Amino acid sequence: MNCKRCQSELPNLLLDAQAAPADVIAHVAGCPDCAAKLNQLRATMKTLDHWTAPAPSAYFDTRLYARLREEIAAPPEGFFERLRSRLLFNSNHHLRPLMAGALALVLIAGGGTYAGLDFYHPQQQESAAVNDLQILDKNAQAIDQMSVLLQDDDQNGGGAQAASQQMNP
């Protein structure tokens, strides 16, 4: 039995000395530190026995009933007011699955980003689309050049010369 475990058992010893474990009682009997803690707790409980809660103000009931009447007479709350009240003052047990789902989503998104698994790359998608368009553009240019070369071949018979002129005007 060490002092830390013994002191966690001290409230039980204080409230019901018979119900406390025997080793705790034995430790308190032999340990001055734990005995002092027990005496402090006893003194605190004795002080609380003499403490009486202050009486409420004479006008407390009157004001409370006046406020209740105001609340009853007030117009019904709108949708967002009711939602806010529910979120603030309810136990929100029914929202726990929703919150767990939202937290899981955050964890998946955060963990995926951390692990480099984010599949959503708007920048790369855009550059891939631009890349495709550039490839198509180059292909169109090449086809144009080929058709010009073929036409030149048909007309002049000097394909290489025409090609060099086409490439370096």
Which of 3, 36, 129, 160 lies at the binding interface for Zn ion (CB under 5 A)? 3
Could you tell me if 159 and 149 are in contact, meaning their C-beta atoms sit under 8 angstroms apart?
yes
Of 6 and 20, nearer to Zn ion (C-beta) is: 6
Candidate list 14, 21, 25, 31; residue touching Zn ion; CB under 5 A? 31
Among residues 2 and 168, whose Cβ is nearest to Zn ion? 2
Q: Which is nearer to Zn ion, 10 or 162 (CB)?
A: 10
Binding-site string for Zn ion from residue 33 to residue 72, where x marks contact by CB under 5 A and - marks none: xx--------------------------------------
Reference 41, options 15, 73, 72, 75; nearest CA is 15
Neighbours of 34 (CB within 10 A): 22
Q: Closest approach of Cβ 34 to Zn ion, in Å?
A: 3
CB of 33 to Zn ion, least distance (A): 5
Which residues contribute to the site for Zn ion (CB under 5 A)?
3, 6, 31, 33-34
